[in-house]
Chains A and B, each alone.
Chain A
Amino acid sequence: MLDVLRENFLQLSSFWYTTFFLYFFILMAFVYTVIFITATPYIISRYREKAIDDVYSLTRSDSVAAITFIVPAFNECKNIAWTVRNLLNLSYRYKKIIVVNDGSTDETLEILIKHFALVKIPLFSSERLQTKPIIGYYRSQEYADLMVIDKVNGGKADSLNAALNICQTPLFASTDADTLIEDTCMNYLMRPFLENKDTLVVHSSVGIVNGCKLSANRITKRAFPRNMLAAFQVIEYIRTFYCDRMCWEWSKGSLIVAGVFAFFKTDTVLEVGGYSTKSVVEDMEVIMKIHKKMGEENREYHIRFVPDIVAWTEVPTTLLALKKQRLRWYTGTTQCLYDYRKMCFDKRFKSIGLFVVPFYIFDKIIPIVELVGYLIVIIFGVILGVLDLKMFLILGLVCWGYSTLLSFALIIVEELTFRKYPDFWGTLCLLGYALFENLTYRFYILYLKLRGLIITKKAGKHWLVTPRKGYNVIGG
């Protein structure tokens, strides 16, 4: 009798589990399909606009707003000279560059002093934001627009705040010390500010520089990365930028802005109190603050995304480096979403509260459901032998098929529009890696996302030290 009851219970549970996961998959597929359909017209529209727009009108202009490029650096001796030269060589006329040496323990400062003829000048700032003590300011004797701040280690957010204290331009760009910026970027990222006075932040797609050929601080040939991990990240970046970021253009904007390169209105960031030193994802945290403040005060604003690749960055090529990077991202975003959880379904924040924040929370739940699914298959299917394993296998294959199809659809959009990799080999590699991504790489990312849901005290670590090959090695 008990055996019969137990059998019935297990079979009933099996039915409900299967139904639950089936409906959850349908919901997930629906959400991501809507996101893809929403994002694609914006990408195509932007591409068509770019084809007939005068790219150089801004770079040639005498009247545009000045921009400060802020480069926080911690132990970046390999890339810092390249990055600063890249910025100095940008043809945008009115620019300032502030490099913040955040207590580096290597020769970052010495390299800067040597390469750019820096001299120390007295401390002079408006001290609008609190930061760790400044050791010294340096000015270049050869490049009037270059300034270096040497300070006590305080993290990226603290470095950005220190630079904001002396920033006098209406716009600033936060950029990482290993980011290469394309010369045409000014036009693409400046346009949204010119088109709409309510634009507060503009961010863009980021390309992966691994595998590309570089010369004189410029990418001379785009090539698909040879490293498998970097290759998987190419697919991931395409999906993230073309879907997750682009789809929110109809609303006030995304919650996440790529920290490697984005333009901000200086007044806006100062108004919200600068970057928070308590968050490891200071870029997301400042965006959340902007959303919150503007929503509470019922002010018109927009955070715009431009799908063009404006900046190129080096991605981790080892599992350990990837783990460090992603744990920081996922833990940080979890922390941020938790801190601003009250915005969820709050009508005051309009589309942000009603759609964007709930989506990101939903995105955090998906790995949990997926993990539960795997555990159920193992316990009930393999161990207890109650589950219809074939059903779950088919469901798994359907999920794989959908994810792969979505990746392929994005590759089609990429081929029709911006085409990161002009050669045929690049496209073939994209297809190949997209096919196998869901069978290999995504399981590691799933594990990292699940780890990222646990907010620990260690989440407050300031800098992510990722091993870098440096730009004189990448691309050979």
Chain B
Amino acid sequence: MDLAYIVFVIEIVAIFVAILSIVIVRIIRNIQEHRTKQRRDALRKIFTHALQNNQLITPAEIPKALNCYLDLIVVLETFDRLFLGALWIQTKEVIIDKFLLKQAVNLLKSSSWRNNLLGLRCIALDAKRLIKTSHFSSLNHLWSHTSNFGPKGGIVIALLNHAKFIVRQLAAICLIRTEDKKLIHHVVNRMVEEYPMAQYPYRDQFIQGNTTTMSILEELAEHEKNPKVIAALLDILSARLTGNLVPLAAKYRNSPDDNCRLAAIKIFASIPGEASEVYLSEALNDPNEINRAEAAKGLGKIVAVKSIPALVLALRDKSWALRLQAAIALKSMGALGKAALFEQDQYAHPEAYKAARFVLSIP
């Protein structure tokens, strides 16, 4: 009984302490958030003023009170999404070199994933310059850009194998932005080791790359042996119309790997022309039903009117996905395609008829 009284009293005291803690936490957080907001607003004002007046920001303009690593990173990232010009690039260089780089390198060396991520966010802002500027000798270990670098050949490269997905993601973005062939090849090899759904940030960054990056990818696709890597490269290239990819895709149209063939089909589907029409029509007989459906979709995209007979046959395929795509493709081919859909016989080929009617009714 006495013990129960004591426990009860302890609980009452703990409840009061908890209430007090909640109030204190609330006040502290409010103050912290308010101060962070003030600092970031002040930084934004400085940057906006400088950019509007076409002036380069000098380090002296950023007072010590505003020199907070995370605040600077957040504000730089915001402006980086909005500005591309030479003035902004110079501004970024000044801020990174003066205020952020040293701390970023230390953060990259940390064993905490959170620090690694913060460090990478700084590198990602100016990855291409950092690798090329020789006088940052202390940063050479970031890349170890020699012919024999391996997974541990540089901090950022090492982070590409980090256990935490968001760290790997950002490390890949940094390396892709360098526009360096060896590094990009390394990233692609790492990318294909990721689970397919997790490859999206790599893919996104490649697709957003400029013509240099695309040329590098084309070059890699020409000489690559690993089918997984080939499929990934072709898949990225299919999202961008970069030169004449048809010969490259034609090389892999009969690949034993399903994903390679699929990626080749997607390339053909992006480039209208007789060669694409021929290859896509052939792909309607691909052993993989996803590839067949993609081929039908591709024929619709490039409005391959000559392939109408092949698509009509595809309407009778046992794969539901192919029947649907074939019907959609026929509908996109104007009067001829629609006529082919209307001709489908409800009793001779009920599945083809169903697909045709469905697609004709879609707005």
- Residues of A at the B interface (CB closer than 8 Å) are 48-49, 52-53, 57-58, 60-65, 119-122, 124, 126, 139-141, 168, 170, 191, 193-197, 388, 390-391, 394-395, 397-398, 401-402, 404-405, 408-409, 411-412, 415-416, 419, 424, 427, 431, 435
- B83 close to A (CB within 8 Å): no
Query: Distance (Å) between the CB of B33 and the closest chain A CB?
Result: 9
Check if B15 sits within 8 Å of A401, measured CB to CB: yes
Nearest-CB distance from A351 to chain B (Å)? 21
Residue among B14, B26, B118 with the highest chain A CB neighbour number at 10 A: B26
Q: Using Cβ atoms and an 8 Å threshold, which residues of chain B touch A411? A: 18, 22
Query: Would A197 and B198 count as touching, CB distance under 8 A?
Result: yes
- List A contacts of B354 (CB < 8 A): 122, 124
Q: Which residue of B lies closest to A390 (CB)?
A: B1
Cα separation A181 to B119 with both chains bound (whole Å) = 33
Instruction: Determine the residue in chain B with the shortest Cβ distance to A388.
Output: B1
What's the nearest-Cβ distance from chain A to residue B198, in Å?
Answer: 4
With a cutoff of 8 Å between Cβ atoms, the chain A residues found around residue B320 in the complex are 126
Q: How far is the CB of A181 from chain B (nearest CB, A)?
A: 21
Complex contact B200–A63 (CB within 8 A): yes
12 A-B pairs whose Cβ atoms sit less than 8 Å apart in the complex: A62-B203, A63-B200, A124-B324, A140-B363, A168-B321, A191-B166, A195-B198, A197-B198, A395-B4, A401-B15, A416-B25, A427-B23
Q: Report chain B residues within 8 Å CB of A424.
A: 26
Task: Give the docked Cα–Cα distance between A424 and B22 (Å).
Answer: 10
Contact of B1 among A49, A139, A394 (CB under 8 A): A394
A405 near B165 (CB under 8 angstroms)?
A: no
> Mostly helix, strand, loop or mixed at chain A's interface?
helix
In the bound complex, residues from chain A placing their C-beta under 8 Å from that of B5 are 394
**7 other A-B residue contacts (CB within 8 Å) besides A140-B363, A394-B5:** A57-B204, A194-B165, A196-B195, A397-B8, A401-B7, A401-B14, A409-B18
Establish whether residues B26 and A415, one from each chain, have CB atoms under 8 Å apart when the complex forms: yes
Which partner residue on chain B sits nearest A400 by CB separation? B11
B18–A122 CB distance below 8 A:
no
Asked if B200 and A408 sit within 8 Å, CB to CB, the answer is: no
- In the bound complex, residues from chain A placing their C-beta under 8 Å from that of B361 are 119-122, 139
What count of chain B residues pass the 8 Å CB interface test?
46
Find chain A residues with CB under 8 A from B11 CB. Answer: 398, 401-402, 404-405
Q: Does any Cβ of A come within 8 Å of B21's Cβ?
A: yes
A139 touches B355 (CB 8 A): no
Q: Nearest CB to that of B14 among chain A residues?
A: A405
A193 & B4 in contact (Cβ 8 Å cutoff): no
| A61 & B25 in contact (Cβ 8 Å cutoff) | no
Find B199's partner among A58, A63, A168, A195 (CB 8 Å cutoff).
A63
Q: Is B29 an interface residue (CB 8 A)?
A: yes
How far is the CB of B240 from the nearest CB of chain A, in Å?
11
Which residues of B are found within 8 Å of A427, using beta-carbon distances? 22-23, 26
Contact B198 A401 (CB under 8 A): no
Measured between alpha carbons, how far is A315 from B83 in the docked complex, in Å? 45
Q: Determine if B278 is an interface residue (Cβ-Cβ < 8 Å).
A: no
Q: Is B204 touching A408 in the complex (CB atoms < 8 A)?
A: no
Chain B residues, CB < 8 A from A391? 1, 4
In the docked arrangement, what's the CA distance between A404 and B198, Å? 42
Q: Are B8 and A122 in contact (CB under 8 A)?
A: no
Contact in complex: B358, A124 (CB < 8 Å): yes
Closest approach, in angstroms, between the C-beta of B58 and any C-beta of chain A?
Answer: 28
A211 to B73, CA, bound (A): 36
Q: Which of B4, B29, B166, B358 contacts A394 (CB 8 A)?
A: B4
Q: Cβ of A168: which chain B residues have Cβ within 8 Å of it?
A: 321
Residues of B within 8 A of A412 (CB): 18, 21-22, 25
* Assembled-state Cα–Cα distance A404/B114 (Å): 34
Also in contact, A408 and B22, with CB within 8 A (given A401-B12, A419-B29): yes
Q: Which residue of A lies closest to B19 (CB)?
A: A431
Nearest 8 CB-CB pairs, A to B? A401-B11, A197-B195, A408-B18, A63-B200, A124-B358, A63-B203, A195-B165, A121-B361
B117's nearest neighbour on chain A, judged by CB, is A52
Bound-complex Cα distance A115 to B192 (A): 44
Q: Which of B7, B22, B195, B204 contacts A398 (CB 8 A)?
A: B7
- Cα distance, A401 to B18, chains bound together (Å): 12
> Is B357 in the interface zone, CB < 8 Å from A?
yes
**Nearest-neighbor residue (CB-CB) of B17 within chain A:** A408
Instruction: Given A57-B201, A122-B361, verify A394-B22 contact (CB < 8 Å).
Output: no
**Smallest Cβ-Cβ distance to A394: which chain B residue:** B4
Tell me, yes or no, whether B95 is within 8 Å of chain A by CB: no
- B145-179: CB near A (< 8 Å → 1, else 0) gives 00000000000000000000110010000000000
- Expressed in whole angstroms, the Cα–Cα distance for A48 and B114 within the complex equals 8
Q: With contacts A122-B357, A124-B354, A191-B165 known, is A61 near B1, CB below 8 A?
A: no
CB atoms of B22 and A431 under 8 A apart: yes
Known: A405-B11, A405-B15, A411-B22. A194 touches B198 (CB 8 A): yes
In the docked arrangement, what's the CA distance between A282 and B342, Å?
Answer: 42
**B197 is an interface residue with CB less than 8 A from chain A:** yes
Q: From B18, which residue of chain A is reached at the shortest CB distance?
A: A408
- Given known A-B contacts A194-B165, A415-B29, A122 and B358 have beta carbons under 8 A apart: yes
In whole angstroms, how far apart are the Cα atoms of A168 and B320 in the complex? 11
Task: Tell whether B207 is near chain A: CB-to-CB under 8 Å.
Answer: yes
Q: Are B239 and A394 in contact (CB under 8 A)?
A: no
Say yes or no: A52 contacts B114, CB within 8 Å: yes
Q: Which residue of B lies closest to A124 (CB)?
A: B358
Chain B residues with Cβ below 8 Å from A197 are 195-198
Chain A contacts of B70 at CB under 8 A?
Answer: 52
Inter-chain CA distance A252–B172, complex, in Å, is: 30
Residue in B29, B117, B200 whose beta carbon sits within 8 Å of that of A61 in the complex: B200
**Contact residues in B for A52 (Cβ distance below 8 Å):** 70, 114, 117-118, 121
Chain A minimum-CB-distance residue to B170: A54
B65 on the A face (CB < 8 A): no
Known: A408-B18, A412-B22, A431-B22. A139 touches B362 (CB 8 A): yes
By CB atoms of chain B within 10 A, which of A194, A391, A397 has the most? A194
Minimum CB–CB distance from A61 to chain B (whole Å) comes to: 5
Interface flags for B16-40 (1: CB within 8 Å of A; 0: not) read 0011011101100100000000000
Are A394 and B200 in contact, with the CB atoms below 8 A?
no
Per the bound structure, the CA–CA distance linking A69 and B363 in Å amounts to: 21
B110–chain A nearest beta-carbon distance, Å: 13
Interface string of B303-323 (1 = CB under 8 A from A): 000000000000000001100
